[in-house]
Structure 1
Amino acid sequence: MEEHTAATVSTNPKHQALIDRLSTRRSSTPATSSDSARQVADFLASFASTKLSIEQSLSECRSRADLDQIAASISSLEQLVAQNSYHLPSYELRSCLKSISDLRSAFDTASSGLLPRKKFSFRNKAAKKDEEPKNVDQSLEISIKPSENDKRSNLSVRDGPGFRNEKDETLVKDFRLCDIGQGDFTLSDLENCRVYLKGRVRALFFNRIRNCQVFTGPILGSVLIEDVTDSLFMLASHQIRIHQAKATDFYLRVRSRPIIEDSNGVRFAPYRLIYEGIEEELKESALGEETGNWANVDDFKWLRAIQSPNWGLIPEEEWLEIVDISEFKE
């Protein structure tokens, strides 16, 4: 999206302030420094190179071992996008997600035939929703289906530690009791669940969450939330990006401005979680101080000067009481 410059705007100070604000919000990074631009450029170059390599491998795939290696490569590329999603402009993020979706569809097509195989060609057409990949290890299948209300490609995540496909459950994980805290954790396809995560973890990914309550300790890096409805999240993180959230409350402590996109009916309030040891964990994670950014939300689908109608603040009289999850054990 083209940025406005001083040469193309009115000299009216109010107009100039408006253009400056819109230009800032069109970028998915809080700063427009050359370092940020180089970071995005380096990522895109790495992504393009890896994508080309995977396409070449798919065209030459002749064995099950080849498929396993390709699946691992696609998973690594998905993780790379997830880790860089906060810094990417919205257009570039969508483009990368579309490319991964195409690779996943191509992988499914390749896996159904194995030998003999014709030279592979890419198509933009997405795989049919009711078509299951054949002859593929279920441990390698990581794709996430689009929601009914949004048919665009969604982010796929690595098949690793996490809670998946649970309903009407209380789910507890204490990262202090394991080494997951140095890695990522995924919560996907949860309905009517209460989730309690204690201790520190590097990154969290949420996908297709329905009518759930999620309470977490400090996240050292970023949180990526995709397709959530009628839920409540209490999170402390350095970066939080939210896609396709509806009728959901977020209680946050965050060092940068939260980002929402394709969301509506979402509300925000300050973090209100306690358990034994959390204060020290927050300090060690550089989250010990309240920044107030929970109230400074950027809606990348609302570029007008007035307040976005898609999000608001929870009135103080409606805030939850301090939530103590000390009693919940694995």
Structure 2
Amino acid sequence: MEADELIGHNGVFKVKERLLKRHQARIEDVERRKEAKENHTVIKESVDYFLSTFSGERAAIEELLSRCMGVDQKAAAQLLEEATNKTVQLQKFLNDSMVFLTTYDQRQAQAALQKLQTCLTETREQALPKKKFAFRARCKAADKAPESVMDPLNDGAPEKCDSTQVEGDPAGVQCGFSHMSNTVLAKTAEEIQKEDVLLSHLSNCKVCLYGTPSTLHLKHIDNCEILCGPVSTSVFVDQCQHSTLALACQQLRTHNTSDTLVYLHVTSRAIIEDCQRVSFAPFSWSYPTLEDDFRAAGLDPDRNNWDQVDDFNWLAAGTPSPNWAVIPKAERRTTWEA
């Protein structure tokens, strides 16, 4: 009889234990649901705040650009500088918000920023038109560039820079190099500080840009090596092939590019479109003032998304794009002497 009572007691105990566990599981499930709901609410509120703030700041920049027309050049220059600074801050705001934005929201915001950059450039060209000018050759860049920038076709002697410059108003200076081949080129920090730099129609060239340009545009680049210091906002690459690029920036957009190696430091995400056989590795170019230039450009040297690449031609979720790859460690460049 005592044995039967013990069995009955154990049975009741086990039932109570199961009920207790089930009750505990329900409590935990309720807590999980509550936490998930709260997290969802926080994320939704964060996204709503981002979209509202981003839209407002974009409208403010567009309004500044619209005011540039019909005023004198001094006033236009001030408005353009304010618009540029606001665009830089808007890019930083987007970078900091990437963790909770959907891919769609990221792409929409990045596309809006690119349109702002284009509008900024076009407005600058209209509001600060270039004066009539004559071409002249300048050698300042080569004289001030580090001795490592050498011309391999000239027995190691530094190559003189003969980039096209514009006489007259400094606001009309065309900063960059165009339609050149088989040469080594350089620009100093003083020449490109906060400038929009354009490199176009270059072949078999090496270009070193020291300092912190506002934006960098590369167009029609063939078999070149291009090294650039930290860019405050965006780098735009179009029609580049068989080249090596070393770039640091907030945003990289690459179009119509093939067979190109990119050594990259980017604080948002790189974007490629209509590209094939583009490979990436961490930025590894260095020069004496690089650390100071990172600070001047407002880039975080510890935040590098070099291998986070969005391919706008490849939307298959969970499957890597065949259009880009990571450069194997054993094949990455670590020295950049001419």
Residue number among 135, 139, 163 corresponding to 2:177 in the alignment: 163
Whether the 8 Å contact between 1:229 and 1:246 is mirrored in structure 2 is: yes
Larger Rg: 2
Offset, 1:291:
2.2
Kindly tell me the number of residue pairs found equivalent between the two proteins: 219
Amino acid at match of 2:203: E
Structure 2 residue aligned with 1:235: 247
Q: Secondary structure, in 3 states, of the residue corresponding to 2:330?
A: helix
1:12-54: CA deviation from partner (whole Å, max 9, x where unpaired): xxxxxxxxxxxxxxxxxxx96222344556677899x79xx9x
Compute the TM-score of the two structures, normalised by the length of structure 2. 0.53
Q: Which runs of 5+ in 2 are unaligned?
A: 1-48, 70-79, 95-106, 120-131, 135-171
Offset, 1:295:
0.3
Task: Output the CA distance in 2 between the equivalents of 1:45 and 1:198.
Answer: 33
**Residues 163 and 98 (structure 1 numbering): CA distance in 2 closer, same or farther, change over 3 Å?**
closer
1:197-228: CA deviation from partner (whole Å, max 9, x where unpaired): 11222211111101100011111222111111
Higher relative contact order (CA 8 A, sep 6+): 1
Whether the 8 Å contact between 1:243 and 1:263 is mirrored in structure 2 is: yes
Offset, 1:281:
2.0
Structure 2 residue aligned with 1:217: 229
Task: Output the CA distance in 1 between the equivalents of 2:261 and 2:322.
Answer: 15
Identify the structure with the greater helix proportion: 2
**Residues 37 and 163 (structure 1 numbering): CA distance in 2 closer, same or farther, change over 3 Å?**
same
Whether the 8 Å contact between 2:222 and 2:241 is mirrored in structure 1 is: yes
Amino acid at match of 2:185: L
Aligned-residue CA RMSD (Å)? 4.1
1:60-96: CA deviation from partner (whole Å, max 9, x where unpaired): xxxxxxxxxxxxxxxx9xx99xx89x89848879999
* Identity %, equivalent residues: 31
Residue number among 166, 183, 187 corresponding to 1:173 in the alignment: 187
Compute the TM-score of the two structures, normalised by the length of structure 1. 0.54
Structure 2 residue aligned with 1:307: 320
Whether the 8 Å contact between 1:269 and 1:295 is mirrored in structure 2 is: yes
Matched, 1:35 2:56: no
Q: Which runs of 5+ in 1 are unaligned?
A: 1-30, 54-75, 100-136, 140-157, 326-330
Task: Output the CA distance in 1 between the equivalents of 2:293 and 2:231.
Answer: 10
Q: Secondary structure, in 3 states, of the residue corresponding to 1:309?
A: coil
**Residues 302 and 159 (structure 1 numbering): CA distance in 2 closer, same or farther, change over 3 Å?**
farther
Whether the 8 Å contact between 1:168 and 1:191 is mirrored in structure 2 is: yes
Whether the 8 Å contact between 1:193 and 1:213 is mirrored in structure 2 is: yes
**Residues 279 and 96 (structure 1 numbering): CA distance in 2 closer, same or farther, change over 3 Å?**
closer
Task: Output the CA distance in 1 between the equivalents of 2:202 and 2:264.
Answer: 21
**Residues 93 and 273 (structure 1 numbering): CA distance in 2 closer, same or farther, change over 3 Å?**
closer
